[in-house]
Structure 1
Amino acid sequence: MPARILFIDDDPAGREVALFNLRKAGHEVTSAADGREGLAAFAAAPFDLVITDLKMPGIPGMEVLRKVRAHSPEVPVLVITAFGNVETAVAAMREGAYDFIGKPFHREQLLLSVGKALERRRLAAEVRDLRVRASGVGREIVCASDAMRRLLTIADRVAATDATVLITGESGTGKEVIARRIHVRSPRAEGPFVAVNCAAIPGELLESELFGHARGAFTGAVRDRAGRFRQASGGTLFLDEVAEIPAALQGKLLRALQEKTVDAVGADAPVPVDARIVAATNRDLPERIRAGAFREDLYYRLNVVDLHVPPLRERPADVAPLARRFISELAPGREIAVPPEVTAELERRPWPGNVRELRNACERMVVLCRGDAVSLEELPPLPRAAGERGGEEAQDWPPLPAEGFSLVDLEKRVIERALRLTGGNITQAAAYLRIPRHILVYRLEKYGIRRDG
């Protein structure tokens, strides 16, 4: 199979012979006359294999080997050494070279070594992909719209780097799915993917959750806790709802991002961490900055690459394939069709809860469907506007009986109605009720209320 090969040798005659043979075999070859030129070429473009002479003026081949292995350990390196120089070849193998080729080399020997190295790379990539799939981190993304295809193209390009990413978009658009895709397509894919919902954790506990604590740091700290930053070492830390981090904690997060160290609560010294940061929010962070609720320097540190996930109403071409996928997943073993009139209605709706709301609607249709096709009657009703209730109910709600009324029951009923109004979208329900999202999450757990109200 043709491959992209970087060939580094200061011997012009040997270099030309090798280039001729490799190109004749169908490979795309870039040549370099010394180590410095070779490393510059390697930094500028991706390669499947590097072949380098060991003895060169300037940067020697052993240093080229070390730098290639440090930057891209998945790229095999073949080293060229003079016959009889076995000690040098063994030293190169210990440094991570895949194999060595004696000089002067024959065409068959060169092509055989190249073929084995490329096969090793292919097998290693397959094993890596299997491990990543087995981890269950990745999620398949169904899309047909140009907007989502452009977003995924950029996300894949960013994944290959270690840049911090800020994913923005309305609640339910699939920001975490994008974050997971970035992780599984990154060099850190075999490391952990640690997700933290910053809005669901009370502010006084979030510091310990993120940075960890030492035993005895506070009442109840009976043992050391590593914290999510250290748990994500070698992988990706996903900070969901990052706009909800309390102002008092934002400075500590900024320092962790800048210094790549964390200060555990009650610990004596900072601990180095190696985690790639991907953050997400459905809030307008520039507006939060103007309101004094979010640090501007933290925003710029997080917003190295900004990926905006468009709402579902702006990409109606995605609605039908998403609905088919959800119905297939929710009805295993059943063949349920989606008629054109149902598809048209799904594409017509505004979906304020985005993909999450669409999935809830598909689940309802699957539960209610008794045939081999869903119908319009099985779709959830559109939420009524605030002014559409009956006159007496709108003017005097709730009714107050003479014998008294439970305030707890009232709160539960209000939360359930807000959830129904927003299609089960917690963030929108919290905004409707004018309370922080984590307070609403706490109330849902306290009262045992389902998100579908």
Structure 2
Amino acid sequence: MIDKNILIVDDDDNMREAMKETVLRLGVSVDTAENGRIGFEKATKKVYDLIISDMRMPEIDGLSMFEMLKATGIKTPVCFVTAYGSVTGAVEALKIGAYDYILKPFSPEVIEELIRRTFELAGSQSSAAGNVPLEDNSKKGTVYKSAYMEHIFSLAKDVAESEATVLITGESGTGKEVLARFIHENSGHAKGPFVAVNCAAIPENLIESELFGYEKGAFTGAVNKKIGKFEAADGGTILLDEIGEIPLHLQAKLLRVLQEREVERLGALKPSKINTRVLATTNRNLKVMSEEGSFREDLYYRLNVISMELPPLRDRKEDVADLSLFFIKKYSEINKKPVKPLSDDALKTLQSYEWPGNVRELEHTIERAVVLSKTTEITSKDLFLHGITIAGFKSNPKEDIKDIIKEEKAEKDAKEAKYSAEEHKVDNAVGRTIADVEQELILKTLQDVSGNRTKAAEILGITVRTLRNKLNEYRDAGIDVEEYLK
């Protein structure tokens, strides 16, 4: 690192000197400036590989200095040092191109890790640029023609080149993991592993050991050491799917991982450094959750460095035809069946349907149609896009092709179930909206089965995942769902 140059800009003499000593210990050349004006002057006269700047300073603050540097065409990575109270400004800076930010107070190790990460990333990107052009993989695994999705993936390509944490939001089934994989495959971490963790699917008592791992003997039953998901993704990318489901008591530990770039296994004597890019997805409103106290505000800001929202499929109907053809080819190959065209009435049905389950529902609809179609083309009858259950959910398409194949058995089992829909009927439904009746039926059923989600889903004729998504919607609307889960 001897050939590297770093500029530190901070009006606090003690902080500036402390960071300078840390940088010098790494054998890196360092200059300092006591405010943004002097920092700007130095950055325009000498080439630096990294600028570490405070946010709030007299004369010219850090953000103004950064904007001035951008205006002159200087592309040196800038990392901001900020107190918790001014983190919003740092986030805004990241959105317009800043490299990263770290929160005060921090240890010297945080600065050391920042420097190593910056220079390692620059080296990996230079190497990648000399081999395969980024554009060669720009649409790998993606199907779209809508202008908004074109914008999203163009932005994702730019985002991929940074180390910033990305929060991908959108309804269930909109393709958040596809976008996350796209970012990984176009990043400096592309040669490393991509580890996806469904935070909603891991029991609360196991999620800590799954994410962070544990040492042998850390607890009863820990007969061997286990590497957690963060360490498994070292050198690559970890996707925290449905991050809003992370228990509150683990959020502080997750924040430390994002801040310090290190994980501590259960029972470990010291933490382990990691070089893992973090992406997260959610279908919940984390800002509202942070305001209500169910999600840490500092963690929300750390995750929401760059936010990308995927639209529901009903808002981009122009993509339905291409997606349908893509899935027809995919499942025809998987099931060793000839590729059949869509009939005119089938295409019209697909494009007029609202797709409450989004791209995932479309995929399962096409998968089922490919398997069950008996004619030379896929018709609207093969799609089964009709019918509503008493709970207000679409009875078809179901989330798994096995549900269709075993439909007769499911109907028989439902009749023999201990709890019937009649026992949980909703009174005075006339004059009320379907959504209101649906909500009352779901919550009443949960209450009647003492909060057993599996049993409630069976009674309602829906999947546990669909039930969980409905409960999340009610929580976001301010309903005390936990009262019905006792």
Q: For this structure pair, what is the TM-score category when the shorter chain's length is used for normalisation?
A: 0.5 to 0.7
Work out which of the residue numbers 454, 457, 471 in structure 2 matches 1:415: 457
Residues 1:188 and 2:189 are matched in the alignment: yes
Structure 2 equivalent of residue 265 of structure 1: 266
1:349 corresponding residue in structure 2: 353
Larger Rg: 1
Structure 1: gaps (5+ residues): 1-33, 47-66, 77-119, 401-406, 438-453
Change (3 A) 1:383 1:246: farther
What TM-score comes out, normalization by structure 1 length? 0.62
**Contact 2:342 2:377 (C-alpha < 8 Å) held by counterparts:** yes
Q: Give distance in 1, aligned partners of 2:391 and 2:185.
A: 47
Task: Give the AA of the match of 2:160.
Answer: A
Q: CA deviation at 1:388?
A: 8.2
Contact in 1 for aligned 2:286/2:295 (Cα 8 Å): yes
User: Which amino acid in structure 1 is aligned with residue 363 of structure 2?
Assistant: R
Structure-2 change in CA distance of 1:70 and 1:398 (3 Å) = closer
CA distance in 1, matches of 2:474, 2:372: 34
- Secondary structure class of the residue paired with 2:307: strand
- 342, 366, 369: which one aligns with 1:365: 369
Aligned-partner SS, 1:208:
helix
State the partner residue of 1:23: none
Once the two structures are superposed, residues 45-102 of structure 1 have per-residue CA deviations (whole angstroms, 9 ceiling, x without a partner) of 99xxxxxxxxxxxxxxxxxxxx9887234547xxxxxxxxxxxxxxxxxxxxxxxxxx
Match of 1:125 in 2: 132
Contact 1:191 1:233 survives alignment (8 Å): yes
Which amino acid is 1:258 matched to? Q
1:181, CA displacement in angstroms?
0.4
Residue 440 of structure 1 aligns with which residue? none
Q: Which residue of 1 aligns with 2:331?
A: 330
> For residue 109 of structure 2, what is the aligned residue in structure 1?
none
CA distance in 1 between partners of 2:74 and 2:187 (Å): 17
**Offset of 1:319 from its aligned partner?**
0.7
Indicate conservation of the 8 Å contact 2:324/2:366, yes or no.
Answer: yes
CA-CA distance at 1:363 after TM superposition: 1.4
Give distance in 2, aligned partners of 1:431 and 1:223: 36
Q: Secondary structure at 1:194's aligned position in 2? A: strand
SS in 2 for 1:328: helix
- Tell me how far 1:418 sits from its aligned partner: 4.4
Match of 1:44 among 59, 75, 82: 75
1:222 maps to amino acid:
V
Distance in 2 (CA, whole Å) between partners of 1:70 and 1:314 is: 37
| In 2, Cα distance between equivalents of 1:323 and 1:261 | 43
Change (3 A) 1:419 1:256: farther
Cα distance change on mapping 1:272 and 1:388 into 2, 3 Å: closer
Say whether residues 1:428 and 2:466 are aligned partners.
Answer: yes
Shift of 1:260: 1.1
Root-mean-square deviation (Å): 3.8
8 Å contact kept, 1:139–1:180: no
How far residue 43 of structure 1 moved from its aligned partner, in angstroms, is 6.5
Tell me the CA shift for residue 235 of structure 1.
Answer: 0.7
Mapping for residues 203-218 of structure 1, pairs under 5 Å: 203-218=204-219
- Relative to the length of structure 2, the TM-score reads 0.58
State the distance in 2 between where 1:381 and 1:69 align: 51
State the shift of 1:370 in Å.
1.4
Counterpart for residue 317 of structure 1: 318
- For structure 1, which segment, 202-211 or 181-190, has the greater mean C-alpha deviation from structure 2 after superposition? 202-211
Shift, 1:386, TM fit: 3.7
SS at match of 2:227: coil
How many angstroms apart in 1 are the aligned matches of 2:257 and 2:120?
28
Unaligned runs of 5+ in 2: 1-43, 51-71, 78-117, 394-414, 424-448, 476-486
Shift of 1:435: 11
- Whole-Å separation in 2 of the counterparts to 1:435 and 1:221: 37
- 1:72 aligns to 2:123 (yes or no): yes
Q: 1:372-383 to 2 correspondence within 5 Å?
A: 372-383=376-387
Distance change (3 Å), C-alpha of 1:35 and 1:263: same
- How many residues were matched structurally? 318
Distance in 1 (alpha carbons) for counterparts of 2:329 and 2:387: 26
2: distance between equivalents of 1:352 and 1:43? 46
Q: Structure 1 counterpart of 2:198, which letter?
A: N
Counterpart secondary structure, 1:428: helix
Question: 1:415 is matched by which residue type in structure 2?
Answer: A
1:195–1:237 Cα contact (<8 Å) kept? yes
Q: Secondary structure at the match of 1:371?
A: coil
CA drift at 1:429 = 2.6
Residues 300-337 of structure 1 show CA distances to partners (whole Å, capped at 9, x for unaligned) of 00000001011101100111110111111111251311
Q: Distance in 2 between matches of 1:70 and 1:322?
A: 35
- 8 Å contact from structure 1 (residues 254, 298) kept in 2: yes
Listed as ranges, the matches of 1:205-354 within 5 Å are 205-332=206-333, 333-354=337-358
Measure the CA separation in 1 of the matches of 2:120 and 2:221: 45
Residue 169 of structure 1 corresponds to which residue in structure 2?
Answer: 170
State the alpha-carbon separation in 1 of the partners of residues 392 and 200 from structure 2. Answer: 32
Provide the secondary structure at the position in 1 that maps to 2:255: helix
- CA deviation map 1:119-154 (0-9, x unaligned): x975x338x999x99xxxx95110011111111111
Task: Select between 169-178 and 370-379 the one with higher mean Cα deviation.
Answer: 370-379
Seen in structure 2, the aligned counterparts of structure 1 residues 190 and 318 have a Cα distance that, compared at 3 Å, is same
Given that 1:151 and 1:307 are in contact with CA atoms closer than 8 Å, whether structure 2 keeps it comes out as yes
Structure 2 contact 195–238 (Cα < 8 Å) conserved: yes
SS in 1 for 2:168: strand
Q: What amino acid is the match of 1:292?
A: G
Aligned CA distance change for structure 1 residues 211 and 36 (closer, same or farther; 3 Å): same
Contact 2:284-2:472 within 8 A present in 1 as well:
no
Deviation, structure 1 residue 269: 1.2
Partners of 1:280 and 1:70 lie apart in 2 by 24
